[in-house]
């Protein structure tokens, strides 16, 4: 079996599906397609065979910029000690209503 | 996004950093955290996953063949629609799994190439023939049943993309098993000839289904590390026992006989005892000498070759549209 021409491999797309009107599109997986339009068609067949969605987004995987796992701490740790950003940080007397 | 910049990671240069990274990795696995594509992972973990996920994907794709064989001859329109949906699902499962394997830095074309060249393995069960309609029922009931038993623990496996693909797959597999049992109920409750067909299909698929759980624990080469890494949660023999315990009562309900003279309920163990498995047969089929190995691979190669012009046309069309858009933008 000859090795396939790698340059002809279709690009990878990430697929996002909106399950119902009013919900966000959620990442469900990825697939290969010749172009974005075909990616939508394939995503319909691959990810919505059982009424899983009412809308599909596809994004070429190469166009996604992701945060680096090695920077997880520096990116997200600073939020840990800022508990005053949550409403539960403040104790309000019971007599005070609707606050 | 997953397949970028992965080639450099996890190469086995056991420096001092490597040991620390592996410690951290194992601690995360122990804490039931999911490992994601861009996270550091030992090269052996990566390679084990590539091998397992791609074999799994190939099995789904080759698994379309024994049943697709019956689509045009399904006895009713309802059964035909069900069978088409099931075979389409198997293709979908293959696609989810190839995508999961690709997150580890292997390309789809490499994977397809490995399958078509005969280098890659796939589940030995799909090298058995489907001579009658009842085999379609037996496959759904037993083969998909055994697959579910294997796959449910994989939904909790430590590698995120594999676990997520398995969640989707298991949700769909349940339909496969139930439609198969439904088909068997109909045959077993039908004419004497239909019941005999059902019995013969059970006779054909029982032992190959038990072999689907892989070699006995004593002879399983990959088990130890896979369990340590939480890729594998239960041993082959544990899962096989569970399958027998679940399935024997289902056969009884159909009033069909499980083809094992040594099968008996062990009151003390609260499990079924079953006879020895013919591991020679398993090895033969795995090595390529099963009843349909050559036929299955030939069918895949033919399909790939026959679809080449479609892929080429789609690529050409996409390129034409891209150029047209570029023209408009200029």
Q: Is residue A90 assigned to a domain? A: no
Contacts of B321 in chain A (CB under 8 A): 35, 37
> Which residue is it, tokens 């491999």?
A9
B107/A69 CB distance under 8 A: no
Q: Is residue A31 assigned to a domain? A: yes
Please, which pLDDT band fits residue B14 given cuts at 50, 70 and 90? Answer: low
Whole-angstrom CA distances from B176 to B54, B145, B148 are 21, 8, 10
ipTM surpasses 0.95: no
Q: Is residue A1 assigned to a domain? A: no
Q: How many CB atoms lie within 10 A of CB B109?
A: 17
Instruction: Provide the domain limits for residue A23.
Output: 6-64+71-85
Highest mean pLDDT among A8-12, B133-137, B286-290: B133-137
Measured between CA atoms, the residue of chain B closest to residue A65 is: B1
Whole-angstrom CA distances from A21 to A57, A58, B119 are 14, 18, 46
A46/B164 CB distance under 8 A: no
Please, which pLDDT band fits residue A7 given cuts at 50, 70 and 90? Answer: low
Please, which pLDDT band fits residue A98 given cuts at 50, 70 and 90? Answer: confident
Cα torsion angle, B151, B183, B275, B255, sign: positive
Q: Is residue A99 assigned to a domain? A: no
CATH number at residue A26: 3.10.20.520
Report the C-alpha gap between B321 and B324 in whole angstroms.
Answer: 5
Which pLDDT tens digit goes with each residue over B218-240?
A: 887 767 889 999 999 999 999 99
Q: Is residue A50 assigned to a domain? A: yes
What pLDDT does B287 receive? 84
Q: For residue A18, what are the β-bridge partners?
A: A25, A55
Q: Is residue A91 assigned to a domain? A: no
Q: Is residue A35 assigned to a domain? A: yes
Report the C-alpha gap between B44 and B42 in whole angstroms.
Answer: 5
Measured between CA atoms, the residue of chain B closest to residue A67 is: B38
Number of domains in chain A: 1
Q: Is residue A28 assigned to a domain? A: yes
Q: Is B217 on the interface with A (CB under 8 A)?
A: no
Whether B56 has a pLDDT exceeding 70, the answer reads yes
């Amino acid at each position: 079996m000859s090795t396939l021409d790698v340059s002809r491999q279709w690009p990878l797309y990430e697929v996002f599906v909106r399950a119902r009107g009013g919900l966000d599109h959620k990442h469900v997986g990825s697939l290969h397609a010749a172009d974005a339009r075909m990616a939508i068609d394939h995503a319909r067949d691959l990810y919505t065979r059982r009424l899983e969605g009412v809308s599909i987004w596809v994004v070429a995987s190469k166009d996604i910029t992701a945060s680096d796992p090695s920077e997880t701490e520096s990116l997200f740790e600073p939020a840990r000690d800022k508990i005053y950003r949550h409403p539960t940080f403040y104790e309000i007397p019971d007599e005070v209503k609707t606050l | 996004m997953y397949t970028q910049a992965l080639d450099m990671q996890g190469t086995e240069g056991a420096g001092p950093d490597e040991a620390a990274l592996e410690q951290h990795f194992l601690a995360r696995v122990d804490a039931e955290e999911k490992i994601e594509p861009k996270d550091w992972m030992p090269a052996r973990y990566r390679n084990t996953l590539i091998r397992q996920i791609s074999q799994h994907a190939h099995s789904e794709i080759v698994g379309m063949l024994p049943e697709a064989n019956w689509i045009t001859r399904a006895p009713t329109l309802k059964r035909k629609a069900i069978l088409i949906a099931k075979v389409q699902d198997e293709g979908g499962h293959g696609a989810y799994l190839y995508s999961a394997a690709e997150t580890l830095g292997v390309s789809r074309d490499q994977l397809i190439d490995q399958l078509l060249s005969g280098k890659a393995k796939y589940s030995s069960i799909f090298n058995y023939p489907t001579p009658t309609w009842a085999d379609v029922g037996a496959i759904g009931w037993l083969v998909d049943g055994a697959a579910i038993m294997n796959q449910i623990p994989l939904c909790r496996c430590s590698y995120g993309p594999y676990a997520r693909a398995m969640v989707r797959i298991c949700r769909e597999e349940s339909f496969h098993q139930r439609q198969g049992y439904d088909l068997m109920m109909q045959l077993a409750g039908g004419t004497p000839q239909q019941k005999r067909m059902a019995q013969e299909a059970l006779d054909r698929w029982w032992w190959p289904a038990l072999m689907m759980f892989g070699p006995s624990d004593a002879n399983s080469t990959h088990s130890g590390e896979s369990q340590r890494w939480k890729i594998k949660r239960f041993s082959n023999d544990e899962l096989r026992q569970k399958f027998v315990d679940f399935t024997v009562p289902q056969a009884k309900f159909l009033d069909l006989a499980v083809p094992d003279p040594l099968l008996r309920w062990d009151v003390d163990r609260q499990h079924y005892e079953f006879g020895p498995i013919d591991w020679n047969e398993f090895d033969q089929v795995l090595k390529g000498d099963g009843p349909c190995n050559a036929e299955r691979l030939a069918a895949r190669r033919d399909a790939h070759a026959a679809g080449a012009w479609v892929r080429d046309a789609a690529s050409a069309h996409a390129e034409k549209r891209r150029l047209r858009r570029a023209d408009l933008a200029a």
